[in-house]
A and B are shown apart, each in its own frame.
Chain A
Amino acid sequence: MPNIVVCFKWVIDEAYIRRGSSGELDFSSVSYKISDYDRNAIEEAVRLRNESGGRVAAVTVGSPEATKGLKDALSRGPDQAYFINDASFENIEPSQTSAILADVIGSKIEYDLIICGEGSSDLYTQQVGPRLAERLGIPCISFVLKLTIDGNHIIAERKVEDGVEVTAAPMPVLVTVLPDINTPRIPGVKDTLMASKKEVVNIAKDDLAQTYEPTLQTTAMTAASMERRCVKFGAEPGDIAGFVEALEKEGVLR
């Protein structure tokens, strides 16, 4: 019965980021969400547990504000959560995130299988999973679209540019999953109620073995610009004609 750890991130919903007048990012009306593909990671962990038994622990590193994310994650089926939080964890980069995760998972959590998303919705560095595996010294299979447990091995179908590779590795192992792997559930009221009864282990910065300095420094962050005409037509014959005429004027039709 495998012990499964799933890593998720509580992120800013990018759809609410505005572009300020001088090209700066305006975060004043943002809300947060569980990183999109981490919903697939959680779903897969829960699916495997329901099939093979064992437990699922959901782990996140973030600022204390990420508390809401824990309830959201737990309402998706994990048994327990670990919340590694500090105000300074708001803007860490992947080498730090993975080192902190390795510190806690390596010393406090039993694991046979660790599941990460393919990439986070905000930074999308696609690094934290493989870095975490390397830190823990365990095999890594990334970009997985199908996962099975076979005795003490993981069999994973991995999507590569030239097709699909069926790979096997002995547990403990880390995999990163693609959104194709499953369809995440939409938690109901009952799931949310159940979630508030589940255990959350809080871990503070002082509980870590050491501090982890950044290796990547952000020197600028600007809104990507896209100026477009934004002319709208309806679907009436006159509109269609106007639309086609506009394209002719642009000289983009052959």
Chain B
Amino acid sequence: MAGAWIIADNREQTLELLTIGRELATTMGTKLTALLWQDQELADDYISHGADEILLLPPLPEDQPPGAYIPVIADEAQKKDPDIILMASTVRGKEMAARIATRLNTGLCSNCIALNLGEDGKTVEMERLVFGGTAVQKVTCTVRPAMATIPLKTFEPAVKQEGRQGDIRELPAPAPSPVKILERKPRETEAKDISESRIVVCVGRGIEKEEDLALARKLAHALGGEIGCTRPISEENHWLPEELCIGISGISVKPDLYIGLGISGQVQHVTGIRDAKVICAVNTDENAPIFAAADYGIVGNLYDVVPKLIEAFKT
């Protein structure tokens, strides 16, 4: 038995995984299977985007987390023995992947940023970042199936092809999970997606008070850009939504211009701006690591420098 499987929380991520899944399945001469539990109507949609087979999981009661599917998915994987299982690197996906990998007694490459089939046409070589982004680690799984979780936007979404055919199969309903969801509190504000922004002004802990974000916003406005932040600003201070957190555990950006204000430049953050064309930084500490990662740095107090920059960019 063989096959490539993809498992994702929603349509957007499934389409991205269908791209890489299709590529692998075609090269390996095997079948591409997509799992589906959210909206059962999507089965044909996934087939037309590249899947050969859909495994339908029956909908769960309101209070059940998708983790309840783990035993059913692992049992089916044991029966069908796929070569590879790719899952979306989301909060739920990461937990499910680790637990499925444990049941299958196999290895899992978390947050895989690149994936290549080796010369033997079977071994999948996977890349990930370690030490906060200081290093790139290449791994292979020594046991079947190879498994990886893949961050959002690593691959382009699959395009629709007319006339594709595929099978739809139903998997059994899972036993209830001991974990129950008591309440879902949806996110209050939808943050902007800055991953494609041309200019990003990013704020760090050098900003003293929440009100002072206005200064960074003004600069972003003068440049026609968007605002982002470091993890302490979103996660500890809760001054900005975490979709704006740039770095290894946040988003990656690739603007033409990035300006970091009061950011020390630790590798976990800098990893997220690696693909920026020009990196600038304002920091009072001339030895701050951000200056080694920047093209143009200003050693100075942001409260003094930023108003001057706003003035200069206006003219």
Q: Which residues of A contact B (CB under 8 A)?
A: 12, 14-15, 17, 25, 93-95, 98, 119, 121-127, 129-131, 133-135, 139-143, 155, 158-170, 178-180, 183, 213-224, 226, 228-235, 237, 239-241, 243-244, 246-247, 250, 252-254
Beyond the given pairs A169-B178, A216-B139, A219-B125, 11 more chain A to chain B contacts, judged by CB atoms under 8 angstroms and listed by A's residue number, are: A15-B289, A98-B102, A122-B131, A124-B130, A125-B111, A131-B101, A141-B179, A142-B95, A221-B136, A229-B295, A252-B278
> Are the CB atoms of A140 and B181 closer together than 8 Å?
no
| B49 part of interface (Cβ distance < 8 Å) | no
Question: What CA separation (Å) do A254 and B301 show in the bound complex?
Answer: 26
User: Is there contact, CB below 8 Å, between B235 and A179?
Assistant: yes
Contact flags B171-196 to A (C-beta < 8 A → 1, else 0):
00000011111111111000000000
Question: What does the 1/0 interface line of B283-315 toward A look like (CB < 8 Å)?
Answer: 000100101111111111100110011001100
Distance A161 CA – B250 CA, assembled complex (angstroms): 12
- The 21 sampled A-B contact pairs (Cβ below 8 Å) are A14-B267, A25-B131, A95-B102, A124-B111, A124-B129, A125-B111, A130-B99, A165-B183, A167-B65, A170-B178, A179-B236, A218-B138, A218-B139, A233-B296, A235-B298, A235-B308, A240-B308, A247-B257, A252-B256, A253-B257, A254-B199
Give B255 Cβ to nearest chain A Cβ, in Å: 8
Chain A residues near B181 (CB-CB < 8 A): 165-167
Q: Are A167 and B180 in touch, CB under 8 angstroms?
A: yes
B135: interface (CB < 8 Å) = yes
Q: Tell me which residues across on chain B come within 8 A of A226, comparing CB atoms.
A: 270, 274, 293
| Per-position 1/0 for B128-143, Cβ under 8 A of A | 0111111111111111
Verify B300–A235 contact, CB threshold 8 A. Answer: yes
Cβ A235 vs Cβ B177 within 8 A: no
CB nearest neighbor in B for A214: B142
A25-B134, A167-B182, A235-B298 known; A180 vs B236 contact (CB < 8 Å)? yes
- Residues of A contacting B107 in the complex (Cβ-Cβ under 8 angstroms): 93, 95, 214-217
Q: How far is A244 from B291 in the complex, measured between Cα atoms in Å? A: 17
Bound complex: CA of A201 vs CA of B204, how far in Å?
42
Chain B residues within 8 Å of A15, by CB:
266-267, 289
Query: What are the residues of chain A within 8 A of B132 when measuring CB–CB?
Result: 14, 121, 124
Q: Is the CB of B142 within 8 A of A217?
A: yes
Q: A127 contacts which chain B residues (CB < 8 A)?
A: 94, 98, 101, 108, 110
Taking a contact as CB atoms under 8 Å apart, the answer to whether B295 and A94 are in contact is no
Q: Is the CB of B305 within 8 A of A240?
A: yes
Q: A216 with B140: in contact, given A160-B92, A170-B178, A235-B301 (CB under 8 Å)?
A: yes
Query: With a CB–CB cut-off of 8 A, which chain A residues contact B214?
Result: none
Q: Which residues of A contact B90 (CB under 8 A)?
A: 160-161
- CB contact under 8 A between A254 and B297, given known A166-B185, A168-B182, A244-B309: no
Check: B91 CB closer than 8 A to any chain A CB: yes
List the A side residues contacting B309 at CB < 8 Å. Answer: 240, 243-244
Given contacts A163-B184, A220-B138, A230-B297, contact A247 B278 (CB under 8 A): yes
Given the complex, which residues of B lie within 8 Å of A142, measured CB to CB? Answer: 91, 94-95
Q: Is the interface of B mostly helix, strand, loop or mixed?
A: mixed
Tell yes or no: B280 within 8 A of A by CB: yes
Give the total of B residues in contact with A, Cβ under 8 Å: 87
A95, A230, A239: the one contacting B292 at CB < 8 Å is: A230
On chain B, the residues within 8 Å of A124 by CB distance are 110-111, 129-130, 132, 248-249
Residue among B65, B98, B129, B130 with max Cβ neighbours from chain A (10 Å): B98
Report the bound CA distance from A108 to B235 in whole Å: 36
Residue of B125, B132, B183, B296 with most chain A CB atoms under a 10 A cut-off: B296
Closest to A169 in B: B179
Complex Cα gap A137–B133 (Å): 33
Residues of B within 8 Å of A167, CB to CB, are 65, 179-182
- How far apart sit A176 and B106, CA to CA, in the bound complex (Å)? 21
Contact B95 A215 (CB under 8 A): no
Q: In the docked arrangement, what's the CA distance between A125 and B274, Å?
A: 21
Residues of B within 8 A of A222 (CB): 135-136
Residue from A14, A134, A160, A239 in contact with B102 in the complex, judged by beta carbons closer than 8 Å: A134
* B248 (CB) vs chain A CBs: closest residue: A124
- For A25, the chain B residues whose CB sits under 8 A away are 131, 134-135
Q: Is B109 an interface residue (CB 8 A)?
A: yes
Given contacts A168-B182, A250-B277, contact A243 B298 (CB under 8 A): yes
Given known contacts A140-B95, A142-B95, A160-B91, is B266 in contact with A17 (CB within 8 Å)? Answer: no
- A253 and B142 contacting across the interface, CB-CB below 8 Å: no
| B133 cross-chain contacts in A, Cβ below 8 A | 224
Residues on A with C-beta less than 8 A from B256 are: 252
A207, chain B: closest CB distance, angstroms: 22
> Would A125 and B110 be within 8 Å (CB), given that A166-B182, A167-B182, A219-B138 are in contact?
yes
Residue interface bits B62-101, CB-to-A below 8 A is 1, else 0: 0001010010000000000000000000111011001101
